[in-house]
């Protein structure tokens, strides 16, 4: 039913056009019913987009090859899960996913903040509608998922690299992150347009920002897990432009989440915060542009298309409109308070902001430089991992240090003496750990050694914060120790959820340094019966097998693994040859030692006619801490996002007072 899909998208476009025009006029002239009508149009646009999405999903599920999208991205033998994931594997499908998530989130955000959007921030409706217009226009006129052609006997299949469970999950999480950032951006711009720059827009969007940021962070890790298992070079993050595309808005979003706390506590950094949220949203659009425009030569970029110019134009429009609005409202945004001391929590947040933004802009330059050099000089120069690694160390290490220092410093002002007392125990723990690691031979990677030392400092600071807080609550008679800890976290969810997220970053850092600084690689050509030794492991080639899978032929090298003379099983690695796609993929073998968080990683590069196999064996120490960090990150994010009824009541009381006074 391509006609239904096309019609649903046309209806959605009409609705968002109406919402933008009627909403804009209503906000300008203060028309209540017209604004409600415009808001309803946004709600209805979600229903229309959902209808279009169902049409595409049914077409993918039934392999209706009369849809060009379905014929290009699925085949009869493709398992159903991967066939449905072609929804976001294709350019037009991913644009539809953008619009679906955006209309869903806009509906939820407007419904949950009904009062705020109906008479406090009326501009939210036309701004959200304006963003939706762009995606609806692309889907209706430029890149339709409902284009049809005479159906071929079979489809072309799905890129083998995308036939992986992590890649099924990665794009939806990524889009929940990218698109979720639209909500705080729209509310911030609406607050500026409405001249309502009090803290209501921040409170209304806090959970949205945190949620989008958490989804984006989790998506980056799911993508890293996919790259680790599927791309098969033995690493987890390679500073690929598409990886960086997601990292940049996450870094700036991290800066915003910290600096917005300064605005809430001290009424400072108003300009900085609206700049950060505008930059975060622009970078999320830029990320979609990089992935979908086909401008990049990346292992993660699966499309080549003509939508690049449209995206660039829209990004330019968003940046120009945001900058103009911020400049026009600059007098309103002027802070009423000043930084009291350079040694204070807010100063620490400011330093961490500077490092985060500097790192994000450095990464941006690394992504842009090859594109600009190709456009200006006609030579496509590349910026490789050493360049990114250097700046990640230069900006990242002080960032980690401030992550530990920040929670230990009081707001407003801290004397050096009390700061010294606070940092004494974490510093002693860090120095002892650093000395121990040096003695154990970790000095082979100086940056890694410093990173581990700082990581211990942050971990100790987190433990100290929990311990001191729990002790203080216990002294207040808050029940037993467990009840005191629960009360501490329950009453300060954002702060202690944030500390859990800091702990996740520490665990990730330990894992990343482990694989980046201390992994060992060995390459060998093995005949059946031959062995190779690496870091205490011995791998003996048993032979090769060949099987026919559901949609590919699978060739595997079987290797027996022993350690310290004990057999610990077998590992298989090889290649898949996909029938419909006519492509080959590397299928690595991974054996995990959970106690050491270590992986034995095997790549079978070449199968020879004499039965020998060229293998690459890598031992990645601590790499599984990276994935564990993902779980801790999700846990911390949930704690920080959990609704706080007391704060909600406080805000409602404040507005109720306002109403009561007006009636007096």
Partner 1 sequence: MSSAEIAAVVLAAILAAVCVVFVSRPFLREPAPSGDSLDDLTPGERERLRLAEERDRALAALKELEFDHRTGKVSDADYREQVGPLRRQAAEAIRALDIGVERPDGKSRD
Shortest CA distance to 348 belongs to which of 395, 407, 394? 407
Select from 159, 413, 437, 534 the one that contacts partner 1 (CB under 8 A): 413
Q: By CB under 8 A, tell whether 458 contacts partner 1.
A: no
- The minimum distance between CB 84 and partner 1, in angstroms, equals 21
Q: Is 114 a residue that touches partner 1 (CB under 8 A)?
A: no
Residues 599-638, mask of contacts with partner 1 (x by CB under 8 A): ----------------------------------------
Q: Can residue 646 be called a binding residue for partner 1 (CB under 8 A)?
A: no
**Nearest C-alpha neighbor of 620 from the set 662, 591, 650, 585:** 591
3-class secondary-structure state, position 450: helix
**Beta carbons of 117 and 124 less than 8 angstroms apart:** yes
Considering only 62, 297, 324, 415, the residue that binds partner 1 (CB under 8 A) is 415
Kind of pairing, strands 589-593 and 598-607?
antiparallel
Calpha distance 549→522 (Å, rounded)? 30
Q: Where are the alpha helices (DSSP H) in 302-344?
A: 308-328, 330-333
Q: Which of 265, 522, 525, 563 binds partner 1 (CB under 8 A)?
A: 265
Residue whose CB is less far from partner 1, 13 or 242:
13
By the rule CB under 8 A, 304 interacts with partner 1? no
Contacts with partner 1 in 534-593 (CB under 8 A)? none
Q: How far is Cα 63 from Cα 78, in angstroms, rounded to an integer? A: 10
Question: By CB under 8 A, which span of 11-19, 250-258, 382-390, 391-399 interacts with partner 1?
Answer: 11-19
Q: Which helix (H) or strand (E) holds 523?
A: strand 520-526
Q: Which helix (H) or strand (E) holds 591?
A: strand 589-593
- Using CB under 8 A, pick the residue from 379, 475, 595, 645 that binds partner 1: 475
Q: How far is the CB of 323 from partner 1 (least distance, A)?
A: 26
DSSP 8-state class, residue 230: I
Cβ-based neighbours of 370, under 8 Å, separated by 6 or more? 241, 380, 381, 382, 383
User: Considering beta carbons, is residue 312 or 410 the nearer one to partner 1?
Assistant: 410
Site membership for partner 1, residue 427 (CB under 8 A): no
Copy the structure tokens of residue 451.
Answer: 């990173």
Near partner 1 by CB under 8 A: residue from 15, 60, 269, 279:
15
State the CB neighbour count (10 A cutoff) for residue 596.
12
Contact segment (CB under 8 A) with partner 1 among 39-47, 218-226, 445-453, 569-577 equals 39-47
Q: Which residues of 624-653 are buried (b: 16+ CB within 10 A; e: fewer)?
A: bbbbbbbebbbebbebbbeebeeeeeeeee
Smallest gap from Cβ 658 to partner 1, in A, equals: 6
- Binding partner 1 by CB under 8 A: which of 159, 298, 303, 418? 418
Contact range with partner 1 by CB under 8 A, out of 47-55, 214-222, 241-249, 629-637: 47-55
> Is residue 414 close enough to count as binding partner 1 by CB under 8 A?
yes
Judged by CB under 8 A, the residue of 80, 313, 381, 421 near partner 1 is 421
3 is a contact residue toward partner 1 (CB under 8 A): yes
Report in angstroms the alpha-carbon separations of 381 from 345, 375, 386, 422, 431. Answer: 42, 11, 14, 48, 42
Q: Cα(51)–Cα(8) distance, rounded to whole angstroms?
A: 6
Among 199, 478, 530, 644, binds partner 1 (CB under 8 A): 199
Q: According to the binding rule CB under 8 A, does residue 654 interact with partner 1?
A: yes
Q: Figure out which of the listed residues 23, 24, 122, 366 binds partner 1, where binding follows CB under 8 A.
A: 122
Question: Where does this chain touch partner 1 (CB under 8 A) — which range of 170-178, 262-270, 387-395, 534-542?
Answer: 262-270
8-state DSSP, 343: S
Q: What angle, rounded to 10 degrees, do the helices at 241-266 and 270-292 form? A: 160
Interface with partner 1 in residues 19-38 (CB under 8 A): 26-27, 30-37
Residues with Cβ < 8 Å from 116, sequence gap 6 or more? 124, 200, 201, 204
Strand, coil or helix: 399: helix
**Least distance in Å: CB of 415 to partner 1?**
5
Contacting residues for 477 by C-beta, under 8 A, at least 6 apart: none
Nearer to partner 1, 47 or 319 (CB): 47
* Stretch of residues binding partner 1 (CB under 8 A), selected from 44-52, 353-361, 439-447, 599-607: 44-52
Q: Of 205 and 519, which CB lies nearer to partner 1 in the complex structure?
A: 205
Residues that bind partner 1 (CB under 8 A): 1-4, 7-8, 11, 15, 18, 26-27, 30-37, 40-41, 43-44, 47-48, 51, 118-119, 122, 198-199, 264-267, 408-415, 417-418, 421-422, 468-469, 471-472, 475, 650, 654, 657-658, 661-662, 664
């Amino acid at each position: 039913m391509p006609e239904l899909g096309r019609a649903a998208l046309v209806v959605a476009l009409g609705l968002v056009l109406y919402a933008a025009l009627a909403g804009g006029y209503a906000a300008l002239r203060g028309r209540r019913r017209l604004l409600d009508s415009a808001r309803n149009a946004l709600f209805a646009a979600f229903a229309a987009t959902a209808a279009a999405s169902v049409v595409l999903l049914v077409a993918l599920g039934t392999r209706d090859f009369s849809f060009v999208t379905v014929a290009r991205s699925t085949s009869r033998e493709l398992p159903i899960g991967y066939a449905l994931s072609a929804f976001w594997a294709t350019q037009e499908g991913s644009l539809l996913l953008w619009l679906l998530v955006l209309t869903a989130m806009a509906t939820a955000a407007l419904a949950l903040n009904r009062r705020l959007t109906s008479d406090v921030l009326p501009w939210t409706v036309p701004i959200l509608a304006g963003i939706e217009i762009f995606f609806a226009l692309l889907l209706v006129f430029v890149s339709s998922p409902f284009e049809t052609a005479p159906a071929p006997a079979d489809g072309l299949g799905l890129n083998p690299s995308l036939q992986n469970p992590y890649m099924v999950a990665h794009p939806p999480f990524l889009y929940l992150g990218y698109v979720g950032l639209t909500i705080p951006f729209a509310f911030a711009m609406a607050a500026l347009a409405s001249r309502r720059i009090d803290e209501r827009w921040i409170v209304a969007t806090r959970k949205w920002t945190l949620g989008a940021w958490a989804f984006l962070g989790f998506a980056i890790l799911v993508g890293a897990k996919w790259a680790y298992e599927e791309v098969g070079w033995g690493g987890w993050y390679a500073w690929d432009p598409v990886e960086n595309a997601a990292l940049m808005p996450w870094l700036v979003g991290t800066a915003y989440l910290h600096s917005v706390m300064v605005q809430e506590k001290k009424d400072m950094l108003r300009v900085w915060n609206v700049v950060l949220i505008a930059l975060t949203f622009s970078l999320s659009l830029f990320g979609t542009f990089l992935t979908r425009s086909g401008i990049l030569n990346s292992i993660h970029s699966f499309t080549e298309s003509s939508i690049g110019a449209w995206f660039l134009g829209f990004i330019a429009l968003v940046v120009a409109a945001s900058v103009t609005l911020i400049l026009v409202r600059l007098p309103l945004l002027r802070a009423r308070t000043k930084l009291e001391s350079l040694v204070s929590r807010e100063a620490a947040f400011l330093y961490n902001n500077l490092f985060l933004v500097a790192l994000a802009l450095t990464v941006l330059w690394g992504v842009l430089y090859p594109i600009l050099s190709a456009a200006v000089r006609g030579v496509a120069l590349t910026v490789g991992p050493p360049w990114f690694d250097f700046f990640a160390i230069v900006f990242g290490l002080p960032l980690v240090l401030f992550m530990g220092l920040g929670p230990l410093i009081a707001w407003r002002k801290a004397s050096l003496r009390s700061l010294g007392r606070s940092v004494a125990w974490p510093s002693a723990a860090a120095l002892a750990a650093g000395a121990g690691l040096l003695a154990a031979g970790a000095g082979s990677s100086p940056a890694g050694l410093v990173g581990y030392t700082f990581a211990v400092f942050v971990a100790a600071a987190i433990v100290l914060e929990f311990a001191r807080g729990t002790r203080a609550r216990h002294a207040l008679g808050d029940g037993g120790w467990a009840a005191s800890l629960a009360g501490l976290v329950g009453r300060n969810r954002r702060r202690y959820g944030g500390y859990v997220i800091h702990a996740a970053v520490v665990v990730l850092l330990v894992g990343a340094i482990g694989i980046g600084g201390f992994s060992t690689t060995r390459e060998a050509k093995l005949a059946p019966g031959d062995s190779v030794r690496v870091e205490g492991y011995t791998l003996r080639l048993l032979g090769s097998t060949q099987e026919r899978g559901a949609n590919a032929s699978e060739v595997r090298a079987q290797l027996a693994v022993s350690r310290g003379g004990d057999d610990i099983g077998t590992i298989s690695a090889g290649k898949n040859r996909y029938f419909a796609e006519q492509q080959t993929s590397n299928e690595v073998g991974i054996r995990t030692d959970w106690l050491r968080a270590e992986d034995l990683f095997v790549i079978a590069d070449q199968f020879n006619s004499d039965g020998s196999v060229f293998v690459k064996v890598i031992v990645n120490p601590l790499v599984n801490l990276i994935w564990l960090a993902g779980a801790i990150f999700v846990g911390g994010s949930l704690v920080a996002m959990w609704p706080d009824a007391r704060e909600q009541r406080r805000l409602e009381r404040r507005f109720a007072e306002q109403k009561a006074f007006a009636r007096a």
